[in-house]
Structures are given as structure tokens and as C-alpha cells.
Amino acid sequence: MKSLLKFITCGSVDDGKSTLIGHMLYEAKLLFADQERALELDSRLGSRGGKIDYSLLLDGLMAEREQGITIDVAYRYFTTDNRSFIVADTPGHEEYTRNMAVGASFADLAVILVDATKGIITQTKRHTRICALMGIKHLVLAVNKMDLVDFDSDKFDEIKEEFSRITTEFRFESIQVIPVSATEGDNITKKSPNTPWYKGLALLPYLESVDVHASDEVKPFMMPIQRVCRPDHTFRGFQGQIEAGSIAVGDELITLPSHEKAKVKRILVTDQDRNSAHAGQPVTIQLDREVDVSRGCVFTKDNQLQEADSFSATILWMDDSVLTPGKDVLVKVGTKILPGTVTAINYKIDVNTGNTVTADHVVKNELAKCEISLSDGIVFDKFEKNKSIGGFILIDRVTNMTSACGVIDEALQSSYSVDRMDTEITRDVRAQQKGQQPLTIWLTGSVVGNTAIAKEVEKKLVARGYHTMLIDNNSGESVRQLAAYATLLNDAGLIVLVPAGSTNDNDQAIAQEIIGQAFLPIEAAINSSSIEEAAKDIVKRVVKALIPDSYTI
């Protein structure tokens, strides 16, 4: 069976997205005879003076043909000798960013087009950021219209280097840059003699060979329930698509959120019995006993998923109305839909620089970090682990239109904290017992560098008789989690060192809000100094905070 690649084309208006895909289908002879003939006839009235206008294959709406732009997402399925493809040709105009995001939500790979005569522009950066937000890990930058710059390799290299700079903040697994001419066919299906300086593959051969499917089967089993099937009193099955891992008859499952356990009695793929099934397959699972399961519940094996009724998230706002705190919405995560409220807007994200900007509202096509509360708890996972229950959409409760899409960053409820029992043994009592003031030293800067510095600082503090604890941040805890751990240790009367890494002002504000007066942020920059010297300087500042009148070190 051929592998399937789902990809999108995106970029600014008139960068040649529809023309690129149309030319690929035409040149690779992937059209039916009547489609090819219709294209040739339609092109006689097109904008190319009778030459074939390949964009007409995908731009089917009358408004698209009149304006010469893509408005709606056009999906095409085709197959070659090596692979099957589903491509979504997405609009480039800023007005239709919502449509581009919809296309990106289904894709494994994005082909971002850039006009060689214009280079990287704002819309290129916006689409790159949206691709990253929607979980796309593989990019192709197609530098189009190379024929208009005489196939200048220097111009190509300049665009390639600039794109490399703007993608450094994202976690893309692969980025391929290809010089193309969508109208003339250079490097579309085969290497062009006009670019002897380009040593890579042409676009179609590259798409046929790129490996985008990191094995989901090695991940823990997870399946959101889409439907409970009960055709008669003898059969009750749970239907859905396996999003990760594999399952076999006899395996024990955990149902969330009820946490009931049961064993797999039967697995059906379509109407055929199977002993096992794996990620990507739609299945019906029958269990060996009755459990409380309905649409929106989740099957898993090891219960590593999280549950929360509020979370922080990064969203792309796509509604014409302005988003302000207090907005009531419907929130769809996986197969679950719940009423919810956007309770806070933490900041907006500048599409050009990635910098955060303080904001009290969000307008159409802006990216923002928000906090959302739900009427009930949901089951979710980190987005990078599982897109199906790590991403969500916001639905307007009046118009029923999709207002935003986003990814869950972290739970806001105290699922990772411990409820402390009220006793006569308070933080002050514990601190007095240890003879010190509880403090959290929040080290920012290089993650690697400040961890080494934190270890050295702890040694020096312990040598002075202080009681300390160093929190290891190598497992990628969130700011709220680190702050919650630190607060608990402060309550024990300890001085806590947190090598938090490079955090922005908003993250520090969140940490300070949780930790309170015990919060002491220090930048652990080594620069030209050694770790030893940097640690000595930090210890001076810590002792000054602990004993304000202390001058000797």
C-alpha cells in the first residue's frame, strides 16, 4: 500500500500556489483527458494570452477566476507510482487567513511559496507561524518566479538565508528550499537546466521521498470516542480513530474521565474482525464489561493524559468581532464540545518578530496567549505529542461559526500541585527552625548555562549553612508547574534554585504571582565570566536579599 502525504500550499497573494499545483498535475500527466481539454479551452480566455493557465485547475469559484486569486481551500487527490497525495491549495490574502489555517490543520507538510522578486514578506512570516501553531513539522520553501530574476543563485541564497533566520524559533523537523518557476515548470517534476547550481531534488520527487510520518505506533495508545454503536441489545461498541499507539484483543484499557478499566473483547475494522489495530485506523472496540463511556471520552492504556477544566492556550483569532476577556464560546477538543469562557488575554504575539505584546483585546488574524475556563473537565495531551486532543477550536455560541483555532499550552487547575493541610506548623515556623528566610532564586538565561551555575550556587549556599533545593528543569515543566513546586518547597522553609531558562516578562510575572514575596529573579548570564565567577556574583545578591545589611562575602 502506498504511503499518503497530506500537504498544503500557502504564501501571499499571487505567489503562484494554484499555478504550481496545476502545473505539477498537468506535467506529471495526473489529469483525465476531459480535465486537460477543459483546462486548455478555459485558458484561451485567461490572463496568459492563450497559454495554459494552470491555476484554473484549482481556482474553480467564479470570484477566484475574476480576481485571479484563491479564496477558498481547494483539495485535490492524486497518486504517482511512488506515493498518494492530498493537497490543499490555500488562499494567500490576509482576509482569508482562516481558510489557510483550516487547510494547515490537516496537513503533514507545508509548501510555502515566496515570490523571488519580493522575497520574504509579512504574509510569509504569518503563514510560517500558523504552520508551526497547527503542528506542521516539515516545510518546503518554494522560491517561485525564478525566471523573473534570471535564475539568480545569489537572490535564491539571500531568500534561503533569511527564511532560515525566521524559522530558528520553531521546532520544524525538516526544511527544504527549492527554486521553481510555476508557470514555466522549472524544478516542478524534474530538475531544470536553468538552475545547475541547485543540487537538490525537484519538488514532486522530493514530496514523493520525504518521510513525514514519525511512527505513531510507538506512542501510548489513545483513541477519542466519536460514537457509541448499539444496533441491538447484544452489541455495544465504541467507535473512533486510533490517534496513537496500537491495540490488541485482550489488552486492558482505561476510560477517561471515569477511570474505569476493562479488557478489549473484540476489534472491528469496518465490518471485519481483527486481532489488533494501529494508529490511523478507524475501529469499533467492544469491551468485556459495561463501562460509562460516551462521545468525547478517551480510551488509553497508561493514563498519561491530563484532565483539566481550565487551561492556557495559544490561539489564532479568526472572527470579524473583537475578542475580549469574558467572551462566551463553545470549546471543541477532540470529540468533546463544552461551553467555555475566555477569562484572560495574557499577550499577543507579533507575527514578524515573535515578541509578546501586552493586550486587552484581539482582532482578526492575530495570535494571542489566552486563558480559557470550561463548564466541565476535558481530557487532553500536549499538542506536540498528540494533535487530536492537544488542539482545539472556539465556536461562537450565537452564530455557530468557528471563531478561533489553537493549541493547549498547560492546565491551569492544580493537577500538578499538592493541597496543603492547614496546621499550626506554618512556613514561618519551618523557616525559623532552619534559621533562614525561604526564597526562590529564579535563574533566567541559557538553559544549559544556568543549570551549571545553579549547581555551583547551591554548593556555595550549603557551605554557608543554608538549607536548599535545586529543581531540575530538564523534563520541560511549564512556568506554572515550576512555580508551584518552588512554592511548596518554600513552605518547607527551603531556599529553592530554579534554572528556568529564557523566560519572557510575562512568564516571570506568572511565576512571581504564584510564588509571592519569596520570588527573586536573577539573570544567570556567563558571558566572558566562568561559572565559578558567575556563581559568586549570584551568591552575593542572594545573601544581600536574605540579610539586607550583610556586606561581607
CATH number of 4-209: 3.40.50.300
pLDDT at 504: 67
Active site residue 209: no
pLDDT at 551: 40
Give the Cα separation of 63 and 60 in Å (integer).
9
Residue 546: count other Cβ atoms within 10 Å of its Cβ.
17
Which element (helix H / strand E) includes 206?
A: helix 203-209
Give the Cα separation of 244 and 235 in Å (integer).
26
In the CATH scheme, what architecture does the domain 427-546 have?
A: 3-Layer(aba) Sandwich (3.40)
The pLDDT tens digits for 147-159 are 999 999 999 999 9
**What sign for the dihedral angle of Cα 259, 260, 261, 267?**
negative
Catalytic residue of the set 3, 502, 529, 530: 502
Give the Cα separation of 345 and 327 in Å (integer).
11
pLDDT at 94: 60
pLDDT at 525: 64
In the CATH scheme, what architecture does the domain 216-300 have?
A: Beta Barrel (2.40)
What's 431's DSSP letter?
A: H
**What sign for the dihedral angle of Cα 197, 203, 204, 207?**
positive
State the Cα angle at 103 between 312 and 32, rounded to 5°.
Answer: 165
Our CA dihedral for 278, 281, 284, 290, rounded to 10 degrees, sits at 40
Give the Cα separation of 133 and 318 in Å (integer).
14
pTM above 0.85, yes or no: no
Same fold, 216-300 and 306-411: yes
pLDDT at 552: 40
pLDDT at 447: 54
pLDDT at 71: 44
Which residues have C-beta within 8 Å of that of residue 310, sequence separation ≥ 6? Answer: 343, 371, 372, 373, 374, 411, 412, 413
Stretches where the chain sits below pLDDT 50 are 32, 48, 50, 59-71, 414-417, 528, 549-553
Q: Where are the beta strands (DSSP E) in 25-137?
A: 74-79, 84-89, 109-115
**What sign for the dihedral angle of Cα 500, 503, 507, 511?**
positive
pLDDT at 66: 42
What's 213's DSSP letter?
A: -
What's 362's DSSP letter?
A: B
pLDDT at 428: 87
* 272-274/391-396 β-pairing: unpaired
Three-state SS for 253? Answer: strand
Structural domain boundaries of the chain? 4-209, 216-300, 306-411, 427-546
Give the Cα separation of 445 and 232 in Å (integer).
62
The pLDDT tens digits for 392-430 are 999 998 899 889 988 888 887 544 445 556 677 888 888
pLDDT at 46: 52
pLDDT at 415: 42
The H helix count followed by the E strand count for the chain is 13, 27
CATH number of 306-411: 2.40.30.10
